[in-house]
Amino acid sequence: MSPVALVAMIIAAAVVLFVWNRLPPVVVAMLTCLSLWASGILDIDQTLAGFGDPAVIFIATLYVVASALEVTGITAWAGRRLLWGAGKGDRTRFLIAMMGLVALLTMLVGATGAVAAFLPVVVIASTRLRRHSSQFLLPLVFAAHAGSMLALTATPVNVLVSDAGSDAGAGGFGVFEFAIAGIPLLLGTMLIIILFSGRLLPRRDGRAIPADFSRHARTLVEQYGVGSDLHRLRIRASSPCVGGTSSAIDLLRYDGIRLLGVQEGDTARPLRRPCMAEGDHLLLGGDPDMAARFAADLHLSFRENRQNAGDILFNHQSGLAEVAIPPRSALVGQTVFPGMTTESGDLIILAVHRAGRSVDQIQADAAPAATPLEAGDTMLLQGSWEALDIRLSDPDVLIVSSPELVRRQAVPMGKAAKQVAAILLVMIILLATGIVPPAVAGMLAAGAIILSGILTAEQAYRAIGWSTIVLIAAMKPLATAMLETGAAQVVSKQLLAFVGDSSPTALLAGLFLLTALLGQLISSMTTALIMIPIGVAAATGMGISPRPVLMTTAIATAAAFLTPIASPANAMVMGPGGYAFGDYWRLGLPLFAWFFVISVFVVPLVWSF
């Protein structure tokens, strides 16, 4: 069997498996990669070359930057601005604000991340506007798809397209060069949605509605009664607490206050050092006047008490989590009390409830005492976001609300937000000027985020979408195989024969339709990895520049409007919006046509043949 036929069989099998959707996409990609080696089409170095490809490394670093934007509260801030705008009560104004914000956020965190950040906010806003969530969620997703064409960093497909342009000798695309096509795409998308979405979308609400965590911290501190009597005192250099242990703190002379915990420096971590030091913080609960007297006697800074409890406990560094004790948990029978740290040493137990009432209330308002846990008890825990993410995976507790979802919606912006913005700006400047390769710019940005303490190395590792990275790396050798065996040239000749080899415009039209329709069934990245070598070969065969062909490929992969399986973002809103499979194409078709017009008639005006 000829190498071309083997490659064709491997591609056909991969597409069938992707559409079948019974195997994880990563497994299909790995099987495709191994098939190219096992059939002798590629050697082992070529087969594994994708895992060291600079474009793949650059995409991995973008995940770290996107996570930093979430951790520092920038994405949550954008969501709150949108929710505030919903109070205006005007549908058109809200649609414009929603689509504009999600498109801008997509430039930074990708379509899936942007939709995930705005999804619960939009559902809440639809209630405030007294409209069905189905009227807003598909416009949210479709605007994110248009926003993916605003910058190089908006989607991995743009990185792959730019990389292919460089490999073909035509040059890559600038960081904002995509916006030349992206801005008309976004404006047209917004106009079509404003004019026609009211008639083309159903009027229903989904059964699975995301929870509103915008007031999460306030709700928890009020429910557990830790809001009005919480104080965070900073240890000064002159304080006798310096060099002492937390167990040596004597509160007997200060009736009505209790020590809830000692935090290490400006972090949210409970103190792990044997002795306290300047800059550590004491968390006290109780009477404010008595807390002020205690602070004065021990030379503790009391100025931070102007913050409310929500700000003290819930910020860009630390969060709150409510957990329940399930039956047969190993924690049943263990003794706890407010202020103690968990066994891991990085979470503080602020309060314990039984049957909806505080344990203190059950004990007739006595001083907090050690209490054996029972099945059904709930605890309010406080600690760093990292500790909450790691420790609450323990099967001995049930998480009431996911810390990740809470942080994505409600965490306020902290001081580190300015650092992230500065790092992002420097990365964009490096990408725009081309001083260093994109992979180096991304690695410098990710390194700066870790060195500045915004993310730990472990958090950065967890932030990377490894399934996506492995998928791209494993499918990358397919492009090499298509070019080396001549399979890409064979397919491109068939495409040219179908559209007529005398018309570059017809080539763009045929390439757009083939790419976009395939993209309704399998992921945009997989589609791009299959279609990019075909497009480059077709451009070479016709003797034209591959740049308009590559830009058309990028736009076609973004036109994921017709099915809920065309992208993760499409599937994400299906439940909350109450959508059926056929609801997507009704609004998607006019948008699909608009993307076709831009690809075929506008792209050649900017990137000439």
Give the least confident one: 147-156, 250-259, 351-360, 572-581.
351-360
Separation of alpha carbons 129 and 94, rounded Å: 9
pLDDT at 362 over 50: no
User: What six digits make up the tokens of 158?
Assistant: 């743009």
Q: How confident is the model at residue 85 (pLDDT cuts 50, 70, 90)?
A: low
Give the least confident one: 102-116, 280-294, 405-419, 570-584.
405-419
Q: Read off the pLDDT of each residue in 313-339 and give the average, rounded to a whole number.
A: 83
Residue-by-residue DSSP string for 177-245: TTHHHHHHHHHHHHHHHHHHHHHHS-----SSPPP--TTHHHHHHHHTT-STTEEEEEEPTT-TTTT--
Starting at the edge strand found earlier in the chain, the sheet holding 300-301 runs 257-263, 281-286, 230-235, 300-301
Domain ranges of the chain: 3-208+440-606, 216-400
- State how far Cα 464 lies from the chain centre: 10
Question: What pLDDT shows up at residue 44?
Answer: 92
Separation of alpha carbons 548 and 164, rounded Å: 12
Number of H helices and E strands in the chain, helices first, is 27, 11
Mean pLDDT of the chain: 84
Q: How far are the Cα atoms of 516, 522, 592 from residue 492, in angstroms, in the given order?
A: 16, 21, 23
Please, what's the b/e burial string for 282-309 (b: 16 or more CB within 10 A of its CB; e: otherwise)?
bbbbbbbebbbebbeebebebeebeeeb
Neighbour tally for 167: CB within 10 Å: 16
Question: What pLDDT shows up at residue 291?
Answer: 85
pLDDT at 367 over 70: no
Question: What pLDDT shows up at residue 440?
Answer: 94
